[in-house]
């Protein structure tokens, strides 16, 4: 977003519209209007001093939680099928070049 503010400063554009944070650096570049909507943004961090033993299994479970087991199966199956097809097609091209020589057009 600072690049958009810099474009206003340099006269490349007349205005920039977006969810800008008014910072000191940006205020030095150009002026801002009164915000139409205020967006409340917060940073969530673990409570200091709350050190618990974190295992690899716990961390893996946190990563896998967004999707069900069935959906993870579908994602992994798609990745494997795409990998196998790419290997199959590249092997067919190399085999054809061996069989017919370098007469095939290279892209």
Check residue 75 and give its pLDDT: 95
pLDDT band at 106 (very low <50, low <70, confident <90, very high): low
Cα 67 from Cα 74, distance rounded (Å)? 11
Least confident piece of the model among 6-15, 68-77, 95-104: 95-104
24-79 residue pLDDT tens: 898 898 888 888 888 787 878 777 765 666 778 888 888 889 899 999 999 999 99
Cβ(46)–Cβ(21) below 8 Å: no
pLDDT tens across 16-32, in order? 888 888 888 988 988 88
Question: What residues have CB less than 8 Å from 15, skipping those under 6 apart?
Answer: 8
């Amino acid at each position: 977003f600072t690049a958009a503010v810099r474009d206003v400063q340099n006269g490349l554009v007349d205005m920039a519209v977006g969810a800008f944070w008014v910072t000191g650096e940006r205020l030095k570049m150009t002026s801002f209007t009164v915000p139409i909507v205020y967006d409340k943004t917060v940073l969530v961090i673990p409570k200091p001093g709350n050190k618990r033993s974190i295992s690899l299994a716990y961390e893996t479970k946190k990563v896998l939680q967004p999707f069900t087991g069935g959906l993870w199966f579908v994602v992994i199956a798609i990745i494997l099928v795409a990998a196998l097809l790419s290997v199959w097609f590249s092997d067919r091209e190399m085999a054809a070049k061996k069989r017919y020589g370098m007469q095939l057009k290279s892209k």
